[in-house]
Amino acid sequence: MSTAGKVIKCKAAITWEIKKPFSIEEIEVAPPKAHEVRIKILATGICRSDDHVTAGLLTMPLPMILGHEAAGVVESTGEGVTSLKPGDKVIPLFVPQCGECMPCLKSNGNLCIRNDLGSPSGLMADGTSRFTCKGKMIHHFIGTSTFTEYTVVHETAVARIDAAAPLEKVCLIGCGFSTGYGAAVKTAKVEPGSTCAVFGLGGVGLSTIMGCKAAGASRIIGIDINKDKFAKAKELGATECINPLDCKKPIQEVLSEMTGGGVDYSFEVIGRIDTMTAALACCQDNYGTSVIVGVPPASEKITFNPMMLFTGRTWKGSVFGGWKSKESVPKLVADYMEKKINLDGLITHTLPFDKINEGFELLRTGKSIRSVLTF
């Protein structure tokens, strides 16, 4: 029996207020409007950015359905959708690609202006939501909302992928893997033989290490205060790992001494201003490049000595690894299918969707790299 054009009742994990567990509720998901797609989500990863909202570090309109790293199957399409059809395997995109705005038209741009990242409305393009629960409107999260059995996204915010791809693996291409890997190969453009430092060895940091390795870096130094992450980091390409808590000097001085004057490329993959300035300081003062990959905490400001940039350093940011989403995601999935990239090494736990709160506890206690929830 077709569900197209009808309201679907399904399970979703709702964030009603900050610092509270996810609440699994029955919701109603409205049919897609013009240029929208309704997706049956089959796998979704747990990312630190979702936890930042729960913790109150990233301000979003509540109540909301979080989740943004996922894969599923198109259930139905709204009027005017030509690029997708029911049954297509897809990955939702928190950075859309409309193909018409300035960043989409620029070869080196990727942050499509149709994103809902900067000043989030939590609504679809027409200013309304497709989710209701107990008669209340529920907000969308960065145009995706994947902690639900069904979601609705705009046609520009979804990529069709290889029908043979295992969704419980390639869902990581929807955020964590692509963000880290792209920060190295696309944003920083790491060169063969270079030295790299990666601050933060979670799923995105480890993906950054894989990117540095793929680009041919000769030294890749992993930095984390949780030494339990070191074995996995080395397995995926780190040549050495340091715990700043074991150092007598500030980490930037330690790295500068280790590398004879600073690294060529550094990456901050945590989202803390103290590590952002340390990452800038640890790169070579004349030609070093430092990339901010971790989402900065709401309303915090950085103070630094401008001489750090005057000498020649480059400081830049990277959203979704610099990839143009709709065109790059299918290629990254193809790379996984051809065994050119390793996603399996990042997934430490696979849990049923209703164990979402346990999955977040594994993240917060540093026991997981990536947990994937399956429906």
For 302-340, the pLDDT digits (tens) are: 999 999 999 999 999 999 999 999 999 999 999 999 999
Report the alpha-carbon angle 194-200-201, nearest 5: 85
Domain map (residue ranges) of the chain: 177-296+304-321, 343-374
* pLDDT tens by residue, 205-222: 999 999 999 999 999 999
pLDDT of residue 16 exceeding 90, the answer is yes
DSSP 86-127: TT-EEEE-SS---SSSHHHHSTT----TT-SSSS---S-TTS
69: helix, strand or coil: coil
* Mean of pLDDT values over 228-257: 97
Residue 65 buriedness (CB in 10 A; 0-12 / 13-18 / 19+) = buried
Q: Looking at the predicted structure, is the pLDDT value of residue 131 above 80?
A: yes
Q: How confident is the model at residue 119 (pLDDT cuts 50, 70, 90)?
A: confident
What confidence category does residue 343 fall into, taking pLDDT thresholds of 50, 70 and 90?
A: very high
In angstroms, rounded to a whole number, what is the distance separating the alpha carbons of residues 374 and 352?
Answer: 5
Q: Are 61 and 121 in contact (CB under 8 A)?
A: yes
> In Å, how far are 15, 215, 289, 351 from 182, measured between CA atoms?
30, 11, 15, 27
pLDDT of the residue at 297: 81
Letter string b/e over residues 218-244, b meaning 16 or more CB atoms within 10 A of that residue's CB: ebbbbbbeeeebbebbeebbbbebbeb
What confidence tens digit (pLDDT) does each residue in 147-175 have? 999 999 999 999 999 999 999 999 999 99
Q: Would you say residue 273 has pLDDT above 90?
A: yes
What is the number of other CB atoms lying within 10 angstroms of the CB of residue 88? 18
| Mean pLDDT of all residues belonging to the chain | 96
* pTM for the structure as a whole: 0.96
Place of tokens 């997934």: 347
User: Taking the mean position of all CA atoms in its chain, how far away is CA 13?
Assistant: 19
pLDDT given at position 118 = 84
Indicate the CATH number for domain 177-296+304-321. Answer: 3.40.50.720
Q: Indicate if the pLDDT at residue 271 is higher than 80.
A: yes
Contact 48, 205 (CB under 8 A): no
Q: Which residues are catalytic?
A: 47, 49, 52, 68, 175
Instruction: Kindly report, residue by residue over 220-241, the tens digit of the pLDDT.
Output: 999 999 999 999 999 999 999 9
CA–CA separation, 144 and 342 (whole Å) = 24
C-alpha–C-alpha distance, residues 32 and 264, integer Å: 47
Q: What is 154-219 written as a DSSP string? A: EGGGEEE--TTS-HHHHGGGGTHHHHHHHIIIIII-PPTT-EEEEE--SHHHHHHHHHHHHTT-SE
Mean predicted confidence (pLDDT) in 64-91: 97
pLDDT recorded at residue 300: 86
Residue 135 binned pLDDT confidence (cut-offs 50, 70, 90): very high
pLDDT higher than 80, residue 298:
no
Q: Is residue 351 within 8 Å of 374, Cβ to Cβ?
A: yes
Taking residues 105-113, what's their average pLDDT?
97
The helix (run of H) or strand (run of E) holding residue 273 is helix 273-282
pLDDT beyond 90 at 2: no
Burial (CB < 10 A; 0-12, 13-18, 19+), residue 318, is: buried
Smallest Cα–Cα separation from 147: which of 320, 11, 3?
A: 11
Note the pLDDT of residue 209.
Answer: 98
What CA–CA distance (Å, rounded) separates 28 from 14?
A: 12
CA separation for the pair 109, 114 (Å, rounded): 13
